[in-house]
Structure 1
């Protein structure tokens, strides 16, 4: 088996375990905060929101730092650091005596993060160009699959084993990722001995500054678009159905169909980007995703919403891996970790902004307006990508006579 395939399998397993572990904590955080002595409903919502969002803000700050370290010392050491560190920190959350210790550990989790960006950088640099799109597309399904399964596992573990055991089991899953990475990941890495300021090094030696910035912004917008739906889907489902006893189930299915579509489509769209060009997949996926958001504002029942979100999942599956593939093509290998670290920062900021803005837009303008505004934002981004990415890359691919 080629080394890049073995690395892909191990990184997929690691990202899947990491995603399962991190996503299964989200639904039990409010319950755990109540367990730690906070019983006022408003206070629980406030603290859980801060504990959830603060991790992403800290992660956005530290991702470029760990990306720089990956370029200096290798991507495998960063995988080992992140998986072991997060395993220990999340396991320690089960021993928290109060919410202050819990929030402190959540902040520390944000500092230690970086497994996903290190995986992406490793696969991007250790995979040949002919298979990069397929490999990165396949890798992207790991986090999606883990995010789908994680909340269900978290809920089951909370009911069957208790709140604290959710954190212990999550930590154990990440330790499993650490062991698998240590044993099976192989990296051919040559350290670059350069004492240059990281920021100046990036912008001084990245040959495509404008193109890179456009891709960062696109990654941010996509993450924002996905997470604007997080606070409102359940409420929207309750408005679309009169049978309130099934709202939670229908909301869960609505979330799941989009992720399922992404799992199905991501490797295939990765192959298409290898064959026809990443810029074409990015532009087409942005347009389809933007269009698919708008009719969600006018559905009459949850099943129509699910169908549209399935199509949305098919389109959005092509965006993140294609962005990463294009970044790999235009970035020197010794800067890949830094660049992917900044990309992950853009994604973390998009998650925080989306989950915050979605609820605010719904409160001021109504739930249906969230879909329209989000769709319009994606279409505006598509226009920008057409001029800054599609036309530029297409001109380069034209044969010269």
Structure 2
């Protein structure tokens, strides 16, 4: 088996488990905080918000830092550090004596993360040009699918094995990811003994600043769209359901439907982007995703909502790999890790921002407006991408074709 394929398999497993580990806590968070001795309902809600968001804020801050370290010492050491560190920290959460220790461990989890950005950088730099789209498309399914399937997995483990088992099983899987990374990931990395650039100096050396910012914002909006429904999905499903039984499980499955579709479609759209251009996939995906959000506000039952969430997963599957492909193409090889770190920061901020935004919109205007406003964000982003990315790269492609022909 080729090295890039073996690395892809190992990284996919590690990123999937990391995604599950980050998101599986969502449906059990209030229950676990209550288990830790907090009885006041209002305080549970506040502490749940802090415990959920603090991890993503820490990840957004530290992701570029770990990206810089990956460019300096290699990507495999970063994979080993993150997988072993998270395995230990998440397992320790199951032994939390009180909610404050638990929140501290959530902060530490975000601080030592960086597995996903190191994986993306490793695959992007070591996969040949002909297979880059397929490899990054396949890899993107791991993190998104893990994040979207995590709530269902967490809810299932809670119902069958108990609250603490969620942390122990996730920690065990991350330790397996550490072992497989140690044994099977191969990296050809040559350390360059150059002055370590500051974040500002790194940004000053990025050649396509406007295009890079547009791609960061697109990745941010993608994650806002994916997670805007997370705080309201259980309430929305309860309004649509006739029976009150198993609401949390049905809500988890509904939320995760887009993750399943993502697993199916992302590798195919990654290959398609290699053929027709990643900029075209980004534009079409944004437009269709924006449209598909609108009918979700008018569904009459949970099956209709599940179906539309599945269609949403098919459309957004092309966004993450296409953004990563373009970032790889326009970024110097010596800066790839740090720029991917910035991009992952945008993703984590989008996850946090989407969760907060969805809850606030639902509280002030009603649940259905979450879908309308998210749709508007995607369509506005599509217009921006059309002028800043699509037209520019199409013109470059045309000029390249003319030069080859002459």
| Mapped partners of 2:35, 2:250: distance in 1 | 28
In structure 2, list runs of 5 or more residues that go unmatched: none
| Mapped partners of 1:372, 1:145: distance in 2 | 24
Choose 298-307 or 55-64, whichever is displaced more: 298-307
How far does residue 70 in structure 1 lie from its aligned partner after superposition? 0.6
Work out whether residues 228 and 356 of structure 2, in 8 Å CA contact, stay in contact via their aligned partners in 1. yes
Tell me the equivalent position of 1:230: 230
Work out whether residues 79 and 114 of structure 1, in 8 Å CA contact, stay in contact via their aligned partners in 2. yes
| Mapped partners of 1:59, 1:201: distance in 2 | 21
Q: Does 1:337 align with 2:337?
A: yes
Choose 380-389 or 201-210, whichever is displaced more: 201-210
Q: Does 1:34 align with 2:48?
A: no
How far does residue 159 in structure 1 lie from its aligned partner after superposition? 4.2
In structure 1, list runs of 5 or more residues that go unmatched: none
How far does residue 156 in structure 1 lie from its aligned partner after superposition? 4.0
| Mapped partners of 1:24, 1:221: distance in 2 | 22
| Mapped partners of 1:29, 1:232: distance in 2 | 15
Work out whether residues 293 and 372 of structure 1, in 8 Å CA contact, stay in contact via their aligned partners in 2. yes
| Mapped partners of 2:302, 2:395: distance in 1 | 44
Give structure 1 regions of 4+ aligned residues with deviation exceeding 6 angstroms.
Answer: none
Tell me the equivalent position of 1:95: 95
Work out whether residues 68 and 198 of structure 1, in 8 Å CA contact, stay in contact via their aligned partners in 2. no
Q: How many equivalent residue pairs?
A: 401
Tell me the equivalent position of 2:325: 325
| Mapped partners of 1:260, 1:227: distance in 2 | 15
Deviations 1:155-184 (A, max 9, x none): 344344443333222222111111111111
Equivalent residues in 2 for 1:2-401 (5 A)?
2-245=2-245, 247-398=247-398, 399-400=401-402, 401=406
Q: What value does the CA root-mean-square deviation take over the aligned residues? A: 1.6
| Mapped partners of 1:241, 1:160: distance in 2 | 23
3-state SS of paired residue (1:244): coil
| Mapped partners of 1:242, 1:38: distance in 2 | 32
Work out whether residues 27 and 248 of structure 2, in 8 Å CA contact, stay in contact via their aligned partners in 1. no
TM-score (norm 2): 0.94
Deviations 1:29-81 (A, max 9, x none): 32222222111222112112111111101110010100111111111111011
How far does residue 95 in structure 1 lie from its aligned partner after superposition? 2.3
> CA 1:181/1:332 → structure 2, altered by over 3 Å: closer, same or farther?
same
Work out whether residues 18 and 177 of structure 1, in 8 Å CA contact, stay in contact via their aligned partners in 2. no
3-state SS of paired residue (1:375): helix
How far does residue 148 in structure 1 lie from its aligned partner after superposition? 4.8
Work out whether residues 294 and 372 of structure 2, in 8 Å CA contact, stay in contact via their aligned partners in 1. yes
How far does residue 2 in structure 1 lie from its aligned partner after superposition? 1.1
> CA 1:43/1:236 → structure 2, altered by over 3 Å: closer, same or farther?
same
Work out whether residues 211 and 389 of structure 2, in 8 Å CA contact, stay in contact via their aligned partners in 1. yes
How far does residue 83 in structure 1 lie from its aligned partner after superposition? 0.5
